[in-house]
């Protein structure tokens, strides 16, 4: 991967490579095609053997944990089965950022994932198989010195222990807009919408722990109206050429507005006072980014409307900071809207909380919902006391229980007040998408893998 300073302007070299290889891919798919239910555990089994197949190993070093994805492609860059699946995927916790002062321990935490990835890739192809690690928002927040030491330890580990093809530039902190672009390419690749009109593609919102990304294709007219740069110097619109079609991709990454970071922002609104988003009966401390925040409930417990006010203030979604005609939140241009975001796919923590709140079927990797479903779930959660939360939400991890009202309120507020989605307008929650006859993780690493095998030759 090129470094992120090269990812400015209308098109990056990596995405140009993606464009060239994707030009040859088939384009037949209906958004109404069925979704295959399966156990999410992936098995490392024999891959269809072909000397022309290419593999890529992608580590996603996220804020809440580390994940490894292994993909296999044929000569046309179509995905090839790995056993019964079209990828190998495993994850573990905690993430690299949990070792801010011990870079070697951070790197060694990846060893179980690395060893299992090696079992998937045939031995005679490993030296030509690119391995990349791309860290997201949380590692950025450790500061340049600490994050670089961790990344260097990972580079050393991969060179010494992986047997894969590695490059120092392939172990890096992923730029937020690059993450959003990869995610958009991944989703539309899996849905086989690439090559169609921009209005037939799908938009994405990916809610991680430290940041949230939005990306969708916009019209040429809206692209021409885009402000030149954001306040942090990034551009709003990327030009991509995919499968013979030119796309103007609106993409923005909102650092510090991921779900875990948002908890800190909401708690900081009330500072040392009790917070209306915390479940009744909880009196504790929430730690994020090395900072402790008072996380204690009101004597009356959590309250939906009061929590909404906190979330809106944390989002800066009242329009007071907007200097453009249309903004999402925090003064960020919204891309102008349009058909490219009509079909909106949202993932990561949106799916997880919906599963924990039990308003989607946990056995299905894709679910059609509406933003108001998060509001209804939040109303129920905010009436729950901590002592009852475990039985009310058996699918939720215990550390998340005090914050379940807050999380659901924030997600509703983010969709409706932040991104301007109508409460009744459908969205699709997705963690895995049917491609051919199997399921593939609907995440940005696939877009990164496409780049990697292209660069590796």
Residue 457: predicted pLDDT: 59
Return the ∠ at Cα 63 (arms to 59 and 64), rounded to 5°.
90
Shared-domain flag, residues 173 and 269: no
Q: Among this protein's residues, is 355 annotated catalytic?
A: no
Shared-domain flag, residues 445 and 415: no
Residue pointed to by tokens 């999380």: 407
Q: Give the CATH number for residue 347.
A: 3.30.420.150
Shared-domain flag, residues 444 and 416: no
The residue segments making up the domain with residue 132 are 4-178+440-456
Shared-domain flag, residues 334 and 373: yes
Between CA 303 and CA 82 the distance in angstroms is 48
Is the pLDDT at 42 greater than 70? The verdict is: no
Judge whether 258 and 418 are in contact, CB under 8 Å: no
pLDDT band at residue 331 using 50, 70 and 90 as cut-offs: confident
Does residue 10 or residue 187 have the better pLDDT? 187
Residue 242 lies in a domain: no
Cis, peptide link before residue 227, omega less than 30° from 0: no
Closest by Cα among 405, 410, 358, 412 to 383 = 405
Structure tokens at 34: 């069925």
Is the pLDDT at 171 greater than 90? The verdict is: yes
The full length of the chain comes to 457
Residue 116 lies in a domain: yes
Residue 185 lies in a domain: no
Residue 225 lies in a domain: no
How many Cβ atoms from other residues are within 10 Å of residue 384's Cβ?
A: 20
What region, left, alpha or beta, does residue 216 occupy, with left being phi > 0 and alpha being psi -120 to 50 degrees? beta
pLDDT band at residue 267 using 50, 70 and 90 as cut-offs: very high
Answer positive or negative: Cα dihedral of 400, 403, 408, 413: negative
pLDDT band at residue 328 using 50, 70 and 90 as cut-offs: very high
* Phi and psi angles of residue 54, each rounded to the nearest 5 degrees, phi first: -125, 140
Q: What is this structure's pTM?
A: 0.78
Give the model confidence (pLDDT) of 379-415 as tens digits.
Answer: 999 999 999 999 999 999 999 999 999 999 999 999 9
Residue 142: predicted pLDDT: 85
457 burial level (CB within 10 Å; 0-12, 13-18, 19+): exposed
Average pLDDT score over residue span 297-322? 90
Tally of domains within the chain: 2
Between CA 272 and CA 275 the distance in angstroms is 9
From 179, 200, 356, 451, active-site residue: 179
Closest by Cα among 252, 214, 254, 179 to 340 = 214
Shared-domain flag, residues 313 and 446: no
Structure tokens at 277: 């988003």
Shared-domain flag, residues 288 and 174: no
Shared-domain flag, residues 139 and 12: yes
Does residue 140 or residue 436 have the better pLDDT? 436
Closest by Cα among 356, 348, 337 to 406 = 356
Shared-domain flag, residues 165 and 269: no
Between CA 443 and CA 182 the distance in angstroms is 8
Between CA 374 and CA 367 the distance in angstroms is 13
Helix (H) or strand (E) holding 378: helix 371-382
Return the ∠ at Cα 154 (arms to 150 and 159), rounded to 5°.
150
Answer positive or negative: Cα dihedral of 244, 74, 443, 7: negative
Residue 157 lies in a domain: yes
The number of angstroms, rounded, from the C-alpha of 284 to the middle of its chain's C-alpha atoms is: 29
pLDDT band at residue 178 using 50, 70 and 90 as cut-offs: confident
Shared-domain flag, residues 367 and 304: yes
How many Cβ atoms from other residues are within 10 Å of residue 394's Cβ?
A: 9
Q: Are strands 344-348 and 432-435 parallel, antiparallel or unpaired?
A: unpaired
* Phi and psi angles of residue 207, each rounded to the nearest 5 degrees, phi first: -100, 105
Between CA 310 and CA 281 the distance in angstroms is 20
pLDDT band at residue 335 using 50, 70 and 90 as cut-offs: very high
- DSSP 8-state code for residue 415: I
Structure tokens at 246: 């030119």
Is the pLDDT at 105 greater than 50? The verdict is: yes
Closest by Cα among 310, 315, 298, 303 to 267 = 310
Shared-domain flag, residues 174 and 310: no
Residue 183 lies in a domain: no
Residue 346 lies in a domain: yes
Question: What does the mean pLDDT of the chain come to?
Answer: 86
Q: Give the CATH number for residue 29.
A: 3.30.420.40
Residue 440: strand pairing partners? 433
Closest by Cα among 359, 356, 360 to 394 = 356
Residue pointed to by tokens 């923005």: 252
Share of the chain above pLDDT 70, in %: 86
Rounded to 10 deg, the angle between the 371-382 and 304-315 helix axes is 130
Residue 201 lies in a domain: no
Give the model confidence (pLDDT) of 110-135 as tens digits.
Answer: 999 999 999 999 999 999 999 999 99
Q: What is the largest CA-CA distance in the chain?
A: 66
Shared-domain flag, residues 150 and 274: no
How many Cβ atoms from other residues are within 10 Å of residue 8's Cβ?
A: 14
| E strand map for 86-226 | 88-92, 131-135, 171-173, 203-207, 211-218
SS3 344: strand
SS3 335: coil
Shared-domain flag, residues 418 and 446: no
């Amino acid at each position: 991967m090129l470094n992120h300073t090269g990812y400015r302007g209308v098109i990056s070299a990596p995405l140009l490579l993606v464009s060239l290889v994707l030009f040859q891919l088939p384009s037949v798919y209906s958004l109404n095609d069925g979704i295959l239910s399966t156990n999410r555990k992936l098995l490392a089994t024999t891959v269809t053997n072909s000397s022309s197949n290419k593999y890529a190993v992608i580590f996603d070093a996220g804020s809440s944990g580390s994940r490894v994805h292994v993909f296999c492609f044929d000569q046309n860059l179509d995905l090839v089965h790995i056993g019964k699946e079209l990828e190998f995927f495993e994850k573990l916790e905690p993430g690299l950022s949990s070792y801010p002062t011990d870079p070697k321990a951070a790197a060694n935490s990846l060893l179980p994932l690395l060893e299992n990835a090696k079992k998937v890739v045939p031995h005679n192809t490993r030296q030509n198989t690119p391995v990349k690690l791309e860290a997201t928002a949380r590692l950025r927040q450790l500061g340049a010195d600490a994050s670089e030491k961790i990344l260097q330890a990972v580079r050393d580990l991969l060179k010494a222990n992986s047997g894969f093809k590695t490059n120092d530039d392939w172990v890096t902190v992923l730029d937020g807009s690059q993450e959003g672009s990869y995610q958009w390419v991944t989703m539309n690749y899996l849905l086989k919408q690439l090559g169609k009109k921009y209005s037939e593609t799908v938009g994405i919102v990916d809610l991680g722990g430290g940041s949230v990304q939005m990306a969708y294709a916009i019209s040429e007219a809206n692209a021409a109206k885009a402000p030149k740069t954001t306040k942090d110097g990034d551009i709003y619109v990327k030009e991509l050429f995919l499968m013979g079609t030119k796309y103007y991709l609106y993409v923005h990454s909102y650092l510090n507005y991921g779900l875990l970071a948002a908890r800190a922002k909401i708690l900081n609104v009330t500072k040392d006072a009790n917070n209306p988003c915390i479940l009744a009966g909880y009196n504790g401390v929430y730690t994020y980014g090395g900072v402790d925040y008072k996380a204690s409930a009101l004597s009356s417990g959590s309250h939906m409307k009061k929590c909404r006010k906190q979330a809106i203030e944390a989002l800066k979604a009242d329009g007071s900071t907007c200097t453009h005609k249309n903004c999402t939140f925090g003064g960020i241009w919204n891309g102008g809207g349009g058909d490219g975001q009509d079909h909106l796919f949202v993932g990561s923590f949106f799916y997880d909380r919906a599963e924990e709140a039990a308003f989607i079927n946990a056995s299905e990797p894709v679910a059609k919902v509406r933003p108001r479903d998060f509001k209804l779930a939040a109303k129920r959660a905010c009436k729950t006391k901590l002592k009852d939360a475990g039985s009310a939400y058996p699918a939720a991890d215990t550390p998340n229980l005090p914050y379940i009202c807050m999380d659901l309120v924030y997600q509703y507020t983010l969709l409706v007040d932040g991104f301007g989605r109508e409460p009744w307008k459908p969205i699709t929650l997705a963690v895995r998408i049917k491609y051919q006859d199997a399921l593939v993780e609907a995440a940005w690493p696939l877009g990164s893998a496409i780049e990697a095998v292209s660069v590796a030759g």
